[in-house]
Structure 1
Amino acid sequence: MRCIRNQTIAIVAVFVGIYFVFPLLLNNRPTVTYVRSGNARVKNNLKSKTLPVWKAVERFENASVQVDGSKTKLVSNLAMKHKKLEKLEVFIVLHSHVDPGWLETFDDYYAHKVDSILNLAVSQLTEHSDLRFIWSEVSFLERWWQTANETQRKRAKKLVAEGRFEICGGSWVMTDEATPYFWASIDDLVEGQRFLTEIFNVTPTTSWSVDPFGHGTMLPFMLPLTGIENLVIGRINNELKGMIRQQSLLNLNWKQSWANVKNGQSKPPLSAYVNILPNKFYTTWDACGPDPGVCCTFDLGPSARYPCSQKANDINAQNVKSYADMLAGQYRKLSKFYRVPSLLVPIGDDFFFSVIEDWTEVYNNYKMVIDYVNKEPSYNMKLRFATPGEFFASIPKKSKASAPSLSGDFFPYLDDRNNGFPAWTAYFAHLPYYKRMGRIVEAKLRSLDLLRIAAAPGSKGLEKLLIDSRRNLALFQHHDGITGTSKKHTMADFLQRLFYAYGNITEVENRLFKAKSKTPFEPLETLSNEANRFLTKKLFSKKKNPVSEIAIFNPLTIRNTRRVVVHSDSPKVKLILGADSKEIQAQVLPHIVDGAVSESVFEILFFVDLEPLAKTEVLLEFVDSQPSSTIISKVHSSAKKPNAAFKELKPGAAFVLKNDLIKAKVMDGKITDIDLQSGKSLDFKFELAKYSDRGGAYVFVPGTRTELPKLKHYFYVSGPLCNQVVSTAESVNITHWISVFLSKDPILDSSLDIEVFSDITKTIGETFMFVMGSGAIENEQTFYTDANGLHMMRRHYNKDESLEMNFYPSPSTSFLGP
């Protein structure tokens, strides 16, 4: 994990010998929290709470192909016998893979390549009526539209309406499928498809997602809901691809796990019909057939990256037969990997077709072969330039419905097992500061969308700021953005876009709150100076504002209790809830930085009951003497005595974190065991370890695992609302807080709350993990991770695989279970 930012959420691993990884990115509870000066009151009538229910789901039990990590189960031998020289229809799809940020930034790529690609695409398709082209990155298309002249716009609209310029997927970007949360992916789809509807009056019917590093279940679920039931995908476990290729299983119906559920619905659950590219990549060189030497011959144009001894760049009447035999032979072999007599063959590469010679060489030479093959009956084959829409339309509905079914996902992505870098699992948690910042912006944007509904009169004129924010967040969801796999300067550009979006959202929030009040509001968290762009909590000061009001918005559709922590320069504060003037119980916690208790900053913890989709206001008032409702914590420090404002805690041999539901015993700053309300006692381990890692941004190649030295400092904190232990590792600045709350809310009080912060500038080139486990949990080598926050996936630790191949993405949730 090579990170360049100070504050990060570290990786979590290991339960009872099972190793898996998920970045802890959802501690950011989606609450818009604001403060203003004044004395307004808001009435709050709290009703009973409803507990959320989680349900884990299995893979579709009747699926023909069931994928579980690197293991694949076939219900039977599904190999099919193809007819010799059966009629074959080949759809040659011209495309250009245009990453909106990778080796260059979005703006640089557009200026250097993409503007030319789209200009040439429109002119070449207008000139040649039989030519087709596809596009998937709406972000670039929107940029081109801004600068296109009237003639180009008219031609583009005509080509799109005719289906010759096909826009696949319609997302703002070709998203990563492992690490995003589904809210951002929905925005990615909506923002792109809204532009297409407004400008081109078109809704995509196909998806082209060929470069994400593994494919998950999110898009096969979401896309059919938008009318896209036909998908083209590319990167899946290469060993798995080789196996299903031999079974002619590169056409599949991708079923969701809940297809098992008998819910009485008249319609079956939505599924996606998937066409999987035959080899590793989407390039001409790798996708035209099983022989890369022949395919290289037909990789034409000056932008072609693969040199070979022969190029088919001068096909004429004298040599067309030999070239036609070569290409038709590849197509015939390729067709054996599929179950339908229709074949999709991509022609293109990264930022291909950016110069006119790419177009002319491809069109003129392929045109010669197409015409020759189509006229020669012995081939029994029809070739044509086409789009994915035309390809999928050629497959009868009956053939799609009867295609073998697939259940599961394609994580982790395995490249070549023999090349030393096989497991693409590092990007699940690489550059966690960037991932965290993206999640913060996402949460604030979603909350703001809901807040605008309640504040409609004040939201006029704010649409442009929100559109810009949404588009910059969507750009970050790209499979080289949120993954952290772009060049350093490109990742810096992504981060600046997130900062820009954060600033826009904050500005809109300010205006909305101001529209409802005569006094100004400011956010409780702000981005700090340009040199260190971190979120900084507002410090309440008696000198600046003796009385302030905190507004807390609940973006959830359920009532819930929210933990709130604010910073103050004095512990002598009183908190009052709404118009009832009821004092709220609060606890003063020490503000611990770099293993020391601050002398000038105090953390004020309190709990607030929130109504769904509603704003609650709390008054914070500085007073001259310590109020009885605000209790100062007792603190024990393993080092020097803490701030004199805190009473000294004398824990004895052990310290206990406890409430009515859970009790955790702590020795020397570490939890040793946990007692549950049920009476069951669990031994518990929570330690920091590290791996040397030579893999980089994409792949995890672990070396020796070593335990970090003993804790440098630890603190015990005790009070009426929270008991916690705060520990800092000795050789690296990584600190973790483990807390037990006494909020009287069964959700907050039933678990340990763990927060981790690190100074990643001191840990460059190393992968840190927190090792958690208990021998009392009999999970049978089984655990569950979420699929982009939509549902849970059952996982198994595969002892026959390497450590890195047992890592799975978990964007928001994970738990153990048999």
Structure 2
Amino acid sequence: LFSAHAYKHAQISRSLTQSRWSRIIPKCKTNIFKFVYNYCNLILIVIKDRALYHLLILEWHLMKMHTALLPSLLLLLLTAAEVPGAAATSASCGYNGCPAAVPRRVNLHIVPHTHDDVGWLRTVDQYYYYRVQFILDNVIRELSLDSKRKFTYVEMAFFYRWWREQSNSTRDQVRQLVANGQLHFAQGGWCMNDEATTHYADIVDQQTLGMRFLNDTFGDCARPRVGWQIDPFGHSKEFAALLAQMGLDAFYFARIHFLDEVQRVITRRMQFVWHASRDLGSPSADIFAGDFVSGYCYPPGTNYEGGDQPVQDDPQLHDFNVAEAVRKFIVQVDLLRLAHRTSHLLLTMGCDFAYENARKNFKIIDKLIAAVNANTSQHNLTAYYSSPDCYTKAVNDEGLAYAVKTGDFFPYASGPNSYWTGFYSSRPALKRLVRWASGHLQAVKQLAAVGPAVLGDASERLDRLRQAQGVAQHHDAVAGTEKQAVAFDYALRLSDGIASSDPLWQARLAQLQFGNLSQRDALRACELLNASYCPVSELATGRFFVTFYNPASRLSWHSARLPVTGRYYRVLDEAGAPVTSQTIPVNNGTLRVPERNLSIAVNELAFFVASIPPLGYAVYSVEPCNSTDPGASVFTPILPTTNAGRSASEISVGLAFYIGMRGNSSGEQFRPSGAYVFRPTTDRPQTLSARIQAQVIGPVVNETHFNYNDWAYLVTRQYPGASSNYLEAESTVGPLPLDDGVGREVVAVYSADGLSASSGEFLVDSNGRQLMRARRDPSRPEAAQFRPANAIVSVADAARQLTVLTDRAAAASSRPAEGQLSVMLHRVTLDDDGFGVGEALRERGSDGRGLVVKTSHWYFLAEPAASADRYRLLASQRHRSPLVTFSLLQPRSAWCQWSALTAPLPDSVQILTLEPWRQSPDRLLLRLENIFQANESSAHSGPVTVDLGATFSAFAILDAVELNLSANQRLADQTRLKWRSMQTEAVDQQPRRGPLTKSLEMTLRPMEIRTFEIRVAYKGGTL
């Protein structure tokens, strides 16, 4: 039944992490044998199959070579199975351009690729002009020399830069390579986005940006068929669902928890069908997925441009090594055979910034393929150039049934002390900037779309912000795992993109409010309002006007706080009616923020904006006055108190901190906390005690202030009226001390009296959308208890549910039995954690003394049945907070309030996207979504119907074509591969949704997003 050939066992170093091979990959984030190296040199696996027991022994063999450790195996003599042969295809693009499978053989799909980080150790532009431009130059040249060669590229931020520089002849050459099926594009996004710290709106935008470029440049031949997330640090369920809705057939990655990977190798379940959305169901949100057991880089001994020994196939020369090269190569392939059930194997031939010497790589790989295929009878293997697309199609043609995955892959851990949960909160200021820019981008796109273009370069200006935000989604950008200089560059790009887009909203609002585009410079935004700095409101000696633009699809409200120099002001709403207002001294926490060093404000003017129209605005006026004037604001000082404990909600809020482990990463036991890894010294944080407590009592807001020390300040706020369905906790943390040799990782801790979730479970969002159940596992370290939260974290028992809404991506955890939630606010580490960035996480801030971070959380306690109605709508409002602008000019009286909609949409419906499309004067891209999940709200969890034809007041919709989620294919033309799972048989892959009627009515099921290209006629009377 089986036979084996054994090599004599050789002594192995206990710490494979210290071997040269473990460091050969530039990022040092992946070990080729990561599925066993942490635990053992010998694994016995017994596989039962129809009463036959196949004994498989894996051992490590130390080769006496200068290159690396290579494994030796006691291999099964696998009986060749009948494999249906794929029909020969003509040379063309897509699946039709794939090589024909060889029946009764193992087909090895060799996939040349490069993984080009859109910033990490260098900035995105530095990487481009140092390396990427030469990679693309050389790869294109080599592909053109041999039609059998293939190459896969991913990051459109780089390809776009390179494409702009090419001559027409080179562009024609590349188009031909795409049409021939030689140059493949995987995923197709602007970057390879992070999956833990990104918001779904940003994922959709950056994927659309990249796929639109591919579609406009190459047509349908370049349409990606698979996702390629080989480097992000864990993988989310919502991201898998989004890829399925973009029409992708498969999704490949290389980082999952090391214990999960061991189990999957043993059971040969490295590939599976991911049921990525319970709400959308199968097969609409199903996608085939697979983890690479050996990482995403070259197999050992085949990094030819990196110095590995080439294949020498000329017997007339010394060092002829074909037989030895093939033998070693087959050993690596056999590792893949053992972990997979299919007769098709994918072998990645590439790594970070690979193929700069494409000539050397391709020439030697050509020889390797020829040598392998010259002796197929010996190893039952045929090798050929392929792509992720072609591999996916070949595996699908086999028709095997696969296991099912319904959860996610968080947290990711590469070892028992290496839980990659620290980056969920690394660089919190950058995370906030990215989230703020996300909402700002949606508002600007909407204002650009609600009327004819107001500027000749509107498209270019909008693209600068789109591209900057797209780059920021990269898995070393918003994740916070880049070098400090690169983090500064990401922030600069976002700032430049925002500044470039400012004239778009300024021109539109000037057109609406003043009837004159030339007045656009009168409108200003204040990006540092959260630091209580705004030159317009601080320097105004008379009346000024504040516009609140609401990018949400329903009526919104806003708790405004404006920095001012006086105590008494009169506020009028859009109708000229007086508004209750309150002035409060700028608190000591805010005064510590160095970015407000130019501010002269000593107070903040607080008032409530009660009703902002959807996709519209309301203009309020503010003017200084005397304390005795009618409608004057109430000055409320911050007064010391000894009774500033719990609020009436019975929720307590406090600050605490973990001390990060120190270490030099010389071994797993010496792993410190760092940019990636969270490794605290204790399982519970140290609670901070407030040395000073104070309070503010007023008609707009009541506040409780906790001054803990020189680096921690907390304010809790309770609002009356329409916004009383939540409380606010605003923390100011930093600069964290460094002189005592302790790295601090600060958390906000929320507790509800009497709440105890005996199940041990809590809820956390997946990319700001569907909620995931997480369980506290006492058998694993404290770092393993944290999950990425982009919007919502919640814990409940049968009677009550405590929910916290974040203002950025953050690490979140819970002690469910204690009714407690924790959200990480800020972290400083003193050591590099050894995963490639080469720096400790010590942000110096704008003044060099250390970063100060202001964070705002909304939180509430409610009955579980009523909680979803609150957290869904509040989370939506957090992301789409109003665009606040200032002016000294008075708007026309009839234009102090305006909306692009005829009426608010139902609460469960949101306009996810409204933007100009393809530089057309009358075409827009429109996405609508149902923001609720099934069965979470009695009022909002069902299907909802919207009449698009009656929705907009700014324009009439002349016709609409439904597209897939990434807007690169008509939905009617989309076909996806059908996959069999071990739970259900393959079913029709067409989306289960109703058609768009002639009257433009459409229905949205829970969690459904529908995308349309609409042709519009603008209504001149509204602009």
TM-score, scaled relative to structure 2: 0.62
In structure 1, C-alpha distance between the alignment counterparts of 2:377 and 2:278, rounded to whole Å: 47
- The change in CA–CA distance for 1:816 and 1:274 in structure 2 (over 3 A counts) is same
Q: 2:267 pairs with 238, 247, 256, which one?
A: 247
User: 2:634: which partner in 1?
Assistant: 632
Q: Which amino acid aligns with 1:379?
A: H
Aligned residue for 1:445, secondary structure, equals helix
**Are 2:728 and 1:753 equivalent residues in the alignment?**
yes
Q: Kindly state the Cα deviation for residue 767 of structure 1 after the two structures are TM-superposed.
A: 1.2
Q: Which moved more, 1:312-321 or 1:799-808?
A: 312-321
Which residue pairs with 1:393 in the alignment?
A: 393
Distance 1:623 1:527, change over 3 A: closer
Q: Is the 8 A contact 1:352 1:358 kept in 2?
A: no
2:853 corresponding residue in structure 1: none
Deviates more, 1:145-154 or 1:171-180: 145-154
Alignment correspondent of 2:166: 148
Per-residue deviation at 1:706?
6.0
CA separation of 1:221 and 1:360: change in aligned 2, threshold 3 A? closer
1:545, 1:803 → 2: CA distance? 54
Alignment of 1:441-460 (within 5 A): 441-458=437-454, 460=456
Aligned mate of 1:692, from 660, 668, 688: 660
Establish whether residue 734 from structure 1 lines up as the match of residue 712 from structure 2: yes
SS in 1 for 2:191: coil
Taking a change above 3 Å as real, the CA distance of residues 79 and 477 of structure 1, as seen in their structure-2 partners, is: farther
CA distance in 2, matches of 1:178, 1:504: 29
- Aligned partner of 2:384 in structure 1 is 384
3-state DSSP class of the match of 2:296? Answer: coil
Letter in 1 for 2:501: I
1:277 has 2:255 as partner: no
Deviating more after overlay: 430-439 vs 147-156: 147-156
Q: Aligned with 2:718: secondary structure?
A: strand
Is structure 2 residue 119 aligned with structure 1 residue 110? no
Which of 551, 557, 561 matches 1:561?
Answer: 557
Relative to structure 1, the CA distance from residue 122 to residue 756 in structure 2 (aligned partners, 3 Å threshold; closer, same or farther) is same
- Structure 1 contact 94–347 (Cα < 8 Å) conserved: yes
Return the alpha-carbon distance in structure 1 between the equivalents of residues 107 and 634 of structure 2.
77
Deviations 1:235-254 (A, max 9, x none): 11111011011111111111
SS of the residue aligned with 1:258? coil
Shift of 1:411: 0.7
SS across alignment from 2:236: coil
Give the conservation status (yes or no) of the 8 Å contact 2:568–2:635. no
Q: CA offsets, 1:461-506, max 9 Å, x none?
A: 3111110111011111111111111122222211211221222233
Please give the per-residue CA displacement for 1:522-553, whole angstroms capped at 9, x wherever unaligned. 3341469xxxx978334525x74512221111
Which whole-Å CA distance do the structure 1 matches of 2:289 and 2:257 have between them? 16
Check whether the contact 2:477–2:487 (CA below 8 A) recurs between aligned residues.
Answer: yes
Q: Please list, as runs of the form range in 1=range in 2, the aligned pairs for 1:532-551 lying within 5 A after superposition.
A: 536-541=533-538, 544-551=540-547
Question: Partner amino acid for 1:241?
Answer: E
Deviations 1:86-145, CA, capped at 9 Å, x for gaps:
431110000111112111111221112111110111110100111111000011101111
Amino acid at match of 2:431: K
**Amino acid across the alignment from 1:342:** H
510 and 337 in structure 1: CA distance in 2 versus 1, 3 angstrom threshold: same
1:636/1:230 CA distance change after superposition, 3 Å: closer
Task: Give SS of 1:348's match.
Answer: strand
Amino acid of the structure 2 residue aligned with 1:385:
Y
SS in 2 for 1:252: strand
Aligned partner (choices 320, 323, 329) of residue 322 of structure 2: 320
Residue type matched to 2:311 in 1? N
Deviation of the 1:452 alpha carbon: 2.1
Deviations 1:512-531 (A, max 9, x none): 22233244433341469xxx
The answer for the alignment partner of 1:602 in structure 2 is 603
With 247-256 and 686-695 compared, the bigger mean Cα shift is at 686-695
Is the Cα contact below 8 Å between 1:539 and 1:569 reproduced in 2?
no
CA offsets 1:320-368 (integer angstroms, 9 cap, x no match): 3443343234324412312221111101121111024532553343233
Deviation for aligned residue 1:79:
7.9
Residue range with higher mean Cα deviation, 591-600 or 460-469: 591-600
Q: 2:255 is matched by which residue type in structure 1?
A: R
Distance 1:756 1:539, change over 3 A: farther
Give the letter aligned to residue 715 of structure 2: W
Identify if the C-alpha distance between structure 1 residues 424 and 706 changes in structure 2 by more than 3 Å, giving closer, same or farther.
closer
- What SS class does the counterpart of residue 114 from structure 1 fall into? helix
Residue 465 of structure 1, aligned match among 461, 467, 470 = 461
Q: Which residue of 1 aligns with 2:337?
A: 335
Residues 626 and 121 of structure 1: is their aligned pair in 2 closer, same or farther, counting only changes over 3 Å?
A: farther
Give how far 1:613 is off.
Answer: 1.2
- Report the equivalent of 2:370: 368
In structure 2, relative to structure 1, the CA distance for the partners of 1:358 and 1:715 (3 Å cut) is farther
Q: AA paired with 1:774?
A: A
Distance in 2 between the 1:549 and 1:809 partners? 39
Residue 106 and residue 396 in structure 1: after superposition, are their counterparts in 2 closer, same or farther (change >3 A)? closer
- What are the within-5 Å matches in structure 2 for residues 113-512 of structure 1? 113-201=131-219, 202-258=222-278, 268-279=283-294, 281-285=295-299, 296-301=300-305, 303-304=306-307, 311-316=309-314, 319-356=321-358, 358-373=360-375, 376-396=376-396, 399=399, 402-417=401-416, 421-458=417-454, 460-512=456-508
Question: 1:753 is paired with a residue of what secondary structure?
Answer: strand
Equivalent position of 1:769 in the other structure: 747
C-alpha distance in 1 between matches for 2:378 and 2:398: 28
What is the aligned partner in structure 2 of residue 591 from structure 1?
A: 586
Gaps of 5+ in 2: 1-46, 55-75, 82-104, 593-598, 663-672, 798-1023
Instruction: For 1:664-703, list aligned pairs within 5 A.
Output: 666=644, 671-672=645-646, 674-676=647-649, 682=650, 684-694=652-662, 695-703=673-681
Task: Report how far residue 708 of structure 1 moved.
Answer: 5.9
State the 1:558 CA deviation.
1.4
Query: Partner letter of residue 256 of structure 2?
Result: I
Structure-2 change in CA distance of 1:693 and 1:605 (3 Å): farther
Indicate the SS of the match to 1:505: helix
Tell me the secondary structure at the aligned position of residue 212 of structure 1.
Answer: coil
CA change 1:803–1:346 in 2 (3 A) is same
The aligned residue for residue 614 of structure 1 is 616
Deviates more, 1:767-776 or 1:104-113: 767-776
The percentage of aligned residue pairs carrying the same residue is 20
Matches within 5 A, 1:50-69: none
Aligned residue type for 1:217: K
Any conservation in 2 of the 1:715–1:727 contact (CA below 8 Å)? yes
Q: 1:791 to 1:570 in 2, by over 3 A?
A: same
Unaligned runs of 5+ residues in structure 1 are: 1-76, 262-266, 286-295, 639-650, 655-665, 677-681
| Aligned position for 1:644 | none
Q: C-alpha displacement at 1:563, in angstroms?
A: 1.3
User: What is the distance in 2 between the residues matched to 1:397 and 1:750?
Assistant: 54
**Contact 1:138/1:171 (CA < 8 Å) preserved in 2?**
yes
Aligned partner of 2:313: which letter? I
Deviates more, 1:200-209 or 1:754-763: 754-763
Residues 697-736 of structure 1 show CA distances to partners (whole Å, capped at 9, x for unaligned) of 0101212566366434332000112111122222x32222
Cα distance 1:504–1:769, how it changes in 2: closer, same or farther (>3 A)? same
- CA displacement 1:654-701 (0-9 Å, x = unmatched): 3xxxxxxxxxxx2xxxx33x545xxxxx46352333423431101012
Tell me which moved more, 143-152 or 473-482: 143-152
Query: 1:412 deviation in Å?
Result: 0.8
Q: Quote how far apart the aligned CAs of 1:388 are.
A: 0.9
- Work out the CA distance in 1 between the residues paired with 2:547 and 2:183: 49
- Work out whether residues 567 and 583 of structure 2, in 8 Å CA contact, stay in contact via their aligned partners in 1: yes
Amino acid at match of 2:368: Y
